[in-house]
Structure 1
Amino acid sequence: MNTKPYTLDRVVRMLIGLAILIGIFLLIKKLSAVLLPFLIAWLLAYLLNPIVGFFQNKLKFKNRILSIFTTLLIFICGFAAIIWFLTPLVINEVSKLSNLIVLYSKNFNVDIFLPIAWQNEIRNYLWNLNIQSALQDENIMNGIKKLAPQLWYLINGSLSFVFGLAVIVIIFLYLIFILLDYKKISDGLIEIIPPKHRSIVSEVLHDLEIGMNRYFRGQALVAIIVGILFSIGFSIIQLPLAIVFGLSLGLFNMVPYLQLVGVIPALLLALLRSAETGQSYWSVLLGIVIVFLVLQLIQDLILTPKIMGKVTGLNPAVILLSLSIWGSLMGVVGMIIALPMTTLMISYYKRFVLNPNQSETIIQSPEPEDKPIEEDGK
């Protein structure tokens, strides 16, 4: 094996390079609040750029600005349509919850797992809240109308609201400017690299783009399917807030294992379902556990292998560690990009540190297990 000797000059260069990397990392961490809007905008631009390209290349939109605004309009309208669809469901389910809570405060008996004193305290507290009248449809809307002006004055005087609005505007402006010159910006990142390192950096960025593209598209499809299946499962066992709760768990599924945060609200919803029907709390809870287990098996055995392939191939412990580290560094965005970034870092470590003479492609196509990965070469 032909390897370079570790001379004093080489060691010094390696230490300087390591110091530069540490300095860049500390600088990014220090400026994370400033860089976060740009990173969010870049992520959105990365996801929306294929749609912009579709309008410009396939539908022959002559002006890229028109393609960008058409894409943004579709994106905003789609988001608004989802809100318009879910809002009546949420109001309807909240109205049902009011009746269940009042029913529980009057009649529900949980002697088997709550002391009598706790039961009395919970009943008295819920009854004094007068939830039934407060959570009816017309009262909800009237309450919103009455509170809206007061909340507006309160929020309008809040510096945090102004800052949050400014961040949204900045992200939107970043998004437009990045989409306008997406190709130039991507190529410009390569031009600032010294020529002797340009090819490897170009390869890294190309692999990063492929990996992120596969991961986000695949994980988004998995999250949508899981959300729909959760909604169906909770509807079958007639759990309150079945559709809203199921879709929420699907959204949380964009980050692996984050859907487990739904365990606590599931326990409370099981309590209300038991109060409504007089059914044993533990039988309702068993139904919820079965839904979670069946959906987890479907996701692990069918959806993830067929849709995601072997995009990550990480051990669950490594996944949790990766989510913790990236989440602490970049918040929610860090948790979203944690797995593809960790996978690429491990792949490059194996290639350039453990196997420096190996020249195969880092990330292979994540084909389903029942399909051949290699082609015939014809």
Structure 2
Amino acid sequence: MRTEICDRLGIEFPIFAFTHCRDVAAAVSNAGGIGVLGAVGFTAEQLEVELSWLDEHVHGVYGVDLVIPSKYEGKGIDGLNPEELEAKLAELVPQGHRDFAEKILADHGVPKLPAEEHHNQLLGWTATTVAPQIEVILRHPKAKLVANALGTPPAEVISQIQDSGRLIGALCGSVKHALNHKNAGLDFVVCQGTEGGGHTGEVSSLVLWPQVIDAVGDLPVLAAGGIGNGRQIAAALAMGAAGAWTGSVWLTVEEANVPPAQMQSYIDATSNDTVRSRAWTGKPARMLKNDWTEAWEQPENPSPLPMPLQMMVALDGVKRGHRYPEAAKDVNFNPVGQVVGMLNKVERSADVVARLINEYVESCERLNKLNGA
């Protein structure tokens, strides 16, 4: 299973685990893959705490995932610090959208946050707010990989990361986006089919992976979207992928910082229970369908705003869902891919890595028998 990108990163297996939980990231890195911590929900100060913890608990290396959209409301506003940009963008959010979001939460009995738990509205959804996060990453030598979740990173960010000796890549959901990444000089591409959790395009993994692999030539492609077992990893590598980028499978592991009620929602869900919706972030993202996503689809209700304005509306709901998961079970933010239908038990992260490897080996042995080897 070892590929060239393993050698470049010094990891044993090309299994990349995107997660918002540092415990999961550490467990996967220590099991021979590489954990990739999603940074979008952290301030720079919080990210410093998370990466310092990972430095202490990861034996090898880990990665960090940022969100710098190629297009977003407010792009091009220069000269503002993150607080000033948040205030400027907040002026663009109609009060009617905030009132509607509050009504959904109130109708479902989700309590408001205590006054002392004030939170930022914007977080890391713009180049301005991501800049302090990058400064933090560069202070941590074990953070050897950076990925951008939405679009090609700005040229100055690419240079900054590569000049530090780190690899930088980005996710894509089309051949066009993959070629943009290659032309920008990125070190790898994460090719995610529509089955994946979070922001996706409309083309399925089985169709998209080989198209992107052929289009970008020798640029390493990490296959993403719907990977939950080693058979799927074997299929991706057989198509020419350099590794597997996984995400949803880590939502139902023991180490995941997922409240029991929310985890049970994932375990109970089928692959038919997901939907691509703009209701939380403003861009199409796959998640569990629930009362929140349905409410924003009704023609008589407000339509989701562009990124990052919709998240500025919805973030209070995200925070309240984390604090009161039982009350928010029908309106919680549950980003997950169609592979959720395969996630029917809780496993340890290291055991998931071992299972993926064993299933991969079994798949290769099956093919060898078919080929008379």
- With normalisation by structure 2, the TM-score equals 0.25
Name the one with the larger helix percent: 1
Give the number of the structure with larger relative contact order, counting CA–CA contacts within 8 Å between residues 6 or more apart: 2
Q: Which has the higher strand share?
A: 2
Larger Rg: 1
